[in-house]
Amino acid sequence: MRRALPSGPQRRLVLAALAGALLALLVAAPFAFADPLTPESGGGSQNAENIDRLYKITLYIGIAIFLIVEGTLLWALVRYRARRGAPEAAQIRGNTPLELGWTIGAALILVVLTVVTFIYLPDIENPPPSGPNGLRADQAQFASIDQPDPPRSGGPILRIEVNGQQFLWRYDYAGGDQLFTYHEMVVPTDTTVVLEVTATDVIHSWWIPKLGGKVDGVPGHVNETWFKVRAGREGIYTGQCAELCGAGHADMRARVRAVTPDEFESWAEDTRANIQAAGEELSEERKRRDASEGEEG
Amino acid sequence: MEAGSATGARRLARPEVTLHGLEPPPRGWLAWLTTTDHKKIGILYIATALVFMFLGGVEALVIRLQLAQPDSTLVNPETYNGLVTMHGTTMIFLFVIPLTAGFANYIVPLMIGARDMAFPRLNALSYWLTLFGGVAFYCSLFFDPPSAGWTMYAPLSDDLYSPGSGVDAWIFLIHLTGASTLIGAVNFVATIHNMRAPGMSWGRMPLFVWTILVWAYLIILAYPAIAAAVTMLLTDRHFGTSFFDATAGGDPLLWQHLFWFFGHPEVYILVLPAFGMISEILPVFARKPIFGYKAIAAATVAIAFLGMLVWAHHMFATPTATVVLAFFMLSSFTIAVPTGIKIFNWIATLWRGSIVYKTPLLFAAALPALFVIGGISGIQLAIFPVDWQLHDSYFVVAHFHYTIFGGGVFGLFAATYYWFPKMSGRLLSEGLGKVSFWLMFVGFNVTFLVQHSAGLTGMPRRVYDYDSELGVTAYNLISTVGSFILGVGVLLTAVNVVISLKSGKRAGHDPWRGNTLEWFTSSPPPPNNFDVIPRVRSVEPMKDIRREVAAAARPAETVSQPAAPRSL
């Protein structure tokens, strides 16, 4: 094994160069691969962006800890290997100040993380008011304003009941008339959308990475989350069920289509009309059938 | 007649023990079947665990093959879910726990200078329950394997959504291995409390024995919760109760609380013994005493205690009040402190040592290097708003493989290379061992490092297929390639064991210059372990003994006599 590497100072040089290259790679990696190292949550809703920021802070602290630990470990492993002429192993059994030092150091890092988390938490957890370009109260019949605790004053909030079922999502829009869809949820931009997530059969988990974190839909419980797609960020946001729910789990996809409030209005009217028409058509058909049966009878 | 009564009286006065015949000890397979010897039971445990490791490993490789490319049709979704469930359950309940129990069985009585475990027959019962639990579970392969994940979340595991009997086989496994592990734990507590060598006070007990003691207490505290939970699941499935059925007033979240009340301590049940193993191995090969013995022992106790208080961090996405989430975030944070203490103490043990590069050292030194990655991602996952994004994604898969494989299994492999000579009398091949280590180390990182990225990109766990447009295709292919490198590495160690059993170098009593009492007896040890037990005067009794032997071998200390005057 030894003969594979040059001996003496040359060998040390090679090892030092190797260690240096490895360290450089490790330092450079986060910048070169910023994308693989951070959640896919930029560009959607601001709660997802805040989670992203919080995650990045923990990532940077984590990288620092990683470098310190792996660096000292590697250094000790290389520097203190048994060789001819190397000093005897030092018979040290401990060092109280040093041990206290790293105990307190570790605790301090955690205090910092706690403080940072609680600074970001309100913006992640509490839904903000809808923006000026969002849904307007006068036109939005389905935006229920009678919520128990309005988060902050502002425009109306769109409430959608999200119901996970093997293996699809159903979305019920709050409001007087029947408005619901499956698979694809249509939402207006610049409007705070509050989701009330539940499930009818087994546990499912709602997750659109760009629009925030996961919320489990648990039978018998209602779990809340929210998102607000920025004005101008209209488009399709995809995700999928994140809790094993049976054979179709991997194919249980969810899609959010963000459109401008005006487009949303017309979509909602069309859909509501379609649902009503379909229902009326069925009842008409039944009446016709009953009537014809009556004639026959 | 008189003479007869006289002998009768003499007989009364001096009772005799009559031996009607001497049963020869059973030989061959019967010896293994009827044994109550802790060493034989230990080897049975280890062999059983390795068989299940092979099964669980094959399941893992099939999973990775299926995921190598999107739209793969190697297995169908039902089979895939079954594979995931079998892999997780096997690796936890039938590989890591029995392997740990095997090493603990073999090594702990030797380390504390005892003849056997406190209750040898109970010990045998423990082993056979594990074996039959595993067999019962694997029999489900022939009818209907469980497919609700190793976490078996209700209501998916309820009879309505998992009508087959696979879940019942799983419940049977949990009951049998649970009883086995609990009985074993009680046995270890009794043994370690009562049967230590003279002079081995708590402060002189080897750190591996410390971790096994704490491991046993954790099992006693955590396992009853899962035993209760699976019993409730059983009655829900078959006897009309509805503990977990929301439609009848039950609550699916109750399952999660009970499961994780066991499940999180279980993580420490899996890794603490490995921490103890490398706390023995690192000092031996660094030729240095362990750095901060008391701190490491105290950190073990602290990790176990705090590990009981963090279970709901597995439930951050469930409908739970923020104040509860915050509590479990902070309690999870606190575990980082004692864990950090251990990692720094291990590094300090190597520092200024004279490190001998044998295979056990390589595996032992890889443990802190890998575990720290799992520790850092663990802190990220403990921050509940961040967890909302990372939960149940491949990031979590990467995280727990870094802790349980990187932290647990690498320690167990270090232990295999370290204690194999004691068990077999022969050394494992160093060449094969080192190749196996590097393949495992590289393969492990190639497999699991990119899984962080796959999770961050949006790939949930437990999916048999993924969208080719999601951007995780490359990560999955890399991961699959890595898993096969890892598999070859593990296989090489298995080959090494088989070859070295027959033709390994003879080890002798103490091939590594160990510190603890198991190296005082022959390799393999005789049935009674020790003919004499030395009085223990420090945490490294073998070092003391070597010093005394060296002192005795040296000629008595003398002073040369001044030359006699010539004139005499």
With bands split at pLDDT 50, 70 and 90, how would you rate the model's confidence at A135?
confident
Token pair of B370, please? 């890998």
* pTM given for the model: 0.90
Q: Read off the pLDDT of residues B251-299 as tens digits, 9 standing for 90 and up.
A: 999 999 999 999 999 999 999 999 999 999 999 999 999 999 999 999 9
Provide mean pLDDT across the span B181-191: 97
Provide mean pLDDT across the span A94-106: 95
pLDDT computed for residue A29 by the predictor: 59
Are A82 and B462 within 8 A, CB to CB?
Answer: no
Q: Judge contact between B108 and B195, C-beta under 8 A.
A: no
Are B380 and A242 within 8 A, CB to CB?
Answer: no
pLDDT computed for residue B1 by the predictor: 42
pLDDT computed for residue A174 by the predictor: 83
Provide mean pLDDT across the span A52-57: 93
Q: Judge contact between B440 and B489, C-beta under 8 A.
A: yes
Q: Judge contact between A120 and A54, C-beta under 8 A.
A: yes
Show residues of chain B in contact with A32, CB under 8 Å. Answer: none
Q: Is the model's pLDDT at A102 over the cut of 70?
A: yes
The shortest CB-CB distance from B291 to any of A38, A87, A94 is to A94
Say which range, A160-164, B51-55, B238-242, B559-563, has the weakest mean pLDDT: B559-563
Residue B201 CB neighbours (<10 A): 9
Residue by residue, what is the 3-state secondary structure of A137-204?
Answer: CCCCCCCCCCCCCCCCCCECCEEEEEEEECCEEEEEECCCCCCEEECEEEEECCCCEEEEEEECCCCE
- A185 forms beta bridges with A256
Is B81 an interface residue toward A (CB < 8 Å)?
Answer: yes
Q: Read off the pLDDT of residues B311-355 as tens digits, 9 standing for 90 and up.
A: 999 999 999 999 999 999 999 999 999 999 999 999 999 999 999
Residue B317 CB neighbours (<10 A): 28
Phi and psi at A288, nearest 5°, equal: -60, -45
In B348-387, the residues whose Cβ lies within 8 Å of chain A are 348, 350-357, 365, 368-369, 372-373, 376-377, 379-380, 383, 385-387
Average pLDDT, chain B: 93
Is B508 an interface residue toward A (CB < 8 Å)?
Answer: no
Say which range, B180-189, B360-369, B530-539, has the weakest mean pLDDT: B530-539
pLDDT computed for residue B493 by the predictor: 97
Please give the distance of CA A245 from its chain centroid, rounded to a whole number: 19
The shortest CB-CB distance from B252 to any of A89, A219, A246 is to A219
pLDDT computed for residue A44 by the predictor: 76
Q: Is the model's pLDDT at A1 over the cut of 70?
A: no
Are A90 and B352 within 8 A, CB to CB?
Answer: yes
Q: Is the model's pLDDT at B12 over the cut of 80?
A: no
Q: Is the model's pLDDT at A6 over the cut of 70?
A: no
pLDDT computed for residue A40 by the predictor: 66
Say which range, A129-138, B189-198, B404-413, B480-489, has the weakest mean pLDDT: A129-138
Give the span between the Cα atoms of B545 and B552, in whole angstroms: 10
Q: Read off the pLDDT of residues A179-198 as tens digits, 9 standing for 90 and up.
A: 999 999 999 999 999 999 99
Say which range, A143-157, B130-144, B205-219, has the weakest mean pLDDT: A143-157
Q: Is the model's pLDDT at A4 over the cut of 80?
A: no
Which residue did the predictor score with more confidence, B556 or B407?
B407
Show residues of chain A in contact with B386, CB under 8 Å. Answer: 51, 54-55, 58
With bands split at pLDDT 50, 70 and 90, how would you rate the model's confidence at A10?
low
Give the span between the Cα atoms of B484 and B501, in whole angstroms: 26
pLDDT computed for residue A149 by the predictor: 47
The shortest CB-CB distance from B350 to any of A77, A201, A246 is to A77
Coil/strand/helix, residue A227: strand
Q: Is the model's pLDDT at B2 over the cut of 60?
A: no
pLDDT computed for residue B408 by the predictor: 95
Residue B319 C-alpha, separation from nearest chain A C-alpha, in angstroms:
5
The shortest CB-CB distance from A121 to any of B365, B376, B385 is to B385
pLDDT computed for residue B260 by the predictor: 97
pLDDT computed for residue A142 by the predictor: 45
Are A90 and B376 within 8 A, CB to CB?
Answer: no
Give the span between the Cα atoms of A40 and B337, in whole angstroms: 30
Q: Is the model's pLDDT at A137 over the cut of 80?
A: no
Instruction: Note the helical H segments in A211-260.
Output: none
pLDDT computed for residue B26 by the predictor: 83
> Strand A184-188 and strand A253-259: pairing?
parallel
With a pLDDT cut of 90, the percent of chain A lying above it is 60
Let me know if B80 is exposed, middle or buried by CB neighbors in 10 A (0-12, 13-18, 19+).
buried
Give the span between the Cα atoms of B515 and B544, in whole angstroms: 9
Show residues of chain B in contact with A40, CB under 8 Å. Answer: 456-458
Q: Read off the pLDDT of residues A241-263 as tens digits, 9 standing for 90 and up.
A: 999 999 999 999 999 999 999 99
Residue with tokens 């979590």: B396
Give the span between the Cα atoms of B147 and A102, in whole angstroms: 44
Which residue did the predictor score with more confidence, A39 or B534?
B534
Are A55 and B389 within 8 A, CB to CB?
Answer: yes
Q: Is the model's pLDDT at A2 over the cut of 50?
A: no
With a pLDDT cut of 90, the percent of chain B lying above it is 89
Q: Residues A188, A194, A196, A197: is their CA dihedral positive or negative?
A: positive
Which residue did the predictor score with more confidence, B7 or B522?
B522
Are A250 and B463 within 8 A, CB to CB?
Answer: yes
Q: Is the model's pLDDT at A68 over the cut of 70?
A: yes
A29: Cα within 13 Å, side-chain hemisphere: 19
Residue B155's alpha-carbon distances to A66, A236, B231, in angstroms, are 40, 32, 15
Cβ-based neighbours of A291, under 8 Å, separated by 6 or more: none
Q: Is the model's pLDDT at A141 over the cut of 50?
A: no
Show residues of chain A in contact with B353, CB under 8 Å. Answer: 76, 80, 89-90
Looking at residue B272, its amino acid is L
With bands split at pLDDT 50, 70 and 90, how would you rate the model's confidence at A131?
confident
pLDDT computed for residue A143 by the predictor: 44
Q: Judge contact between A229 and A260, C-beta under 8 A.
A: no
Q: Judge contact between B85 and B79, C-beta under 8 A.
A: no
Q: What does the DSSP assignment read for B123-155?
A: HHHHHHHHHHHHHHHHHGGGT----STTTT-TT
Give the span between the Cα atoms of B50 and A231, in whole angstroms: 58
Q: Read off the pLDDT of residues B467-476 as tens digits, 9 standing for 90 and up.
A: 999 999 999 9
Mutation target to probe the B interface, by most B beta carbons within 10 A, among A50, A117, A236, A238 is A117
pLDDT computed for residue B15 by the predictor: 65
Show residues of chain A in contact with B294, CB under 8 Å. Answer: 94
Q: Is the model's pLDDT at A39 over the cut of 90?
A: no
Residue A296 C-alpha, separation from nearest chain B C-alpha, in angstroms:
44
Say which range, A149-158, A284-293, B248-257, B513-522, has the weakest mean pLDDT: A149-158
Are A77 and B77 within 8 A, CB to CB?
Answer: no
Token pair of A18, please? 């190797």
Coil/strand/helix, residue A230: coil
Is B335 an interface residue toward A (CB < 8 Å)?
Answer: no
pLDDT computed for residue A178 by the predictor: 85
Residue A148 C-alpha, separation from nearest chain B C-alpha, in angstroms:
17
pLDDT computed for residue A144 by the predictor: 46
Q: Judge contact between B177 and B262, C-beta under 8 A.
A: no
Q: Is the model's pLDDT at A5 over the cut of 50?
A: no
Is B329 an interface residue toward A (CB < 8 Å)?
Answer: yes
Q: Is the model's pLDDT at A55 over the cut of 70?
A: yes
pLDDT computed for residue A18 by the predictor: 72
- A204 forms beta bridges with A217
Name the closest residue on chain A to residue B379, using Cα atoms. A58
With a pLDDT cut of 70, the percent of chain B lying above it is 95
Show residues of chain A in contact with B161, CB under 8 Å. Answer: 166, 201-202, 246
Are B350 and A65 within 8 A, CB to CB?
Answer: no
pLDDT computed for residue B558 by the predictor: 63
A237 secondary structure, DSSP code: E
Q: Could you tell me how many CB contacts below 8 A there are between chain A and chain B?
A: 259
Greatest mean pLDDT among A8-12, B28-32, B463-467 lies in B463-467
Looking at residue B559, its amino acid is V
Are B388 and A213 within 8 A, CB to CB?
Answer: yes
Show residues of chain A in contact with B350, CB under 8 Å. Answer: 73, 76-77, 80
Is B153 an interface residue toward A (CB < 8 Å)?
Answer: yes
Which helix (H) or strand (E) segment holds residue B480: the answer is helix B473-503
Q: Read off the pLDDT of residues B541-553 as tens digits, 9 standing for 90 and up.
A: 999 999 998 888 8
Residue B238's alpha-carbon distances to A203, B148, B156, B252, in angstroms, are 21, 17, 15, 17
pLDDT computed for residue B147 by the predictor: 94
Give the span between the Cα atoms of B122 and B183, in whole angstroms: 7
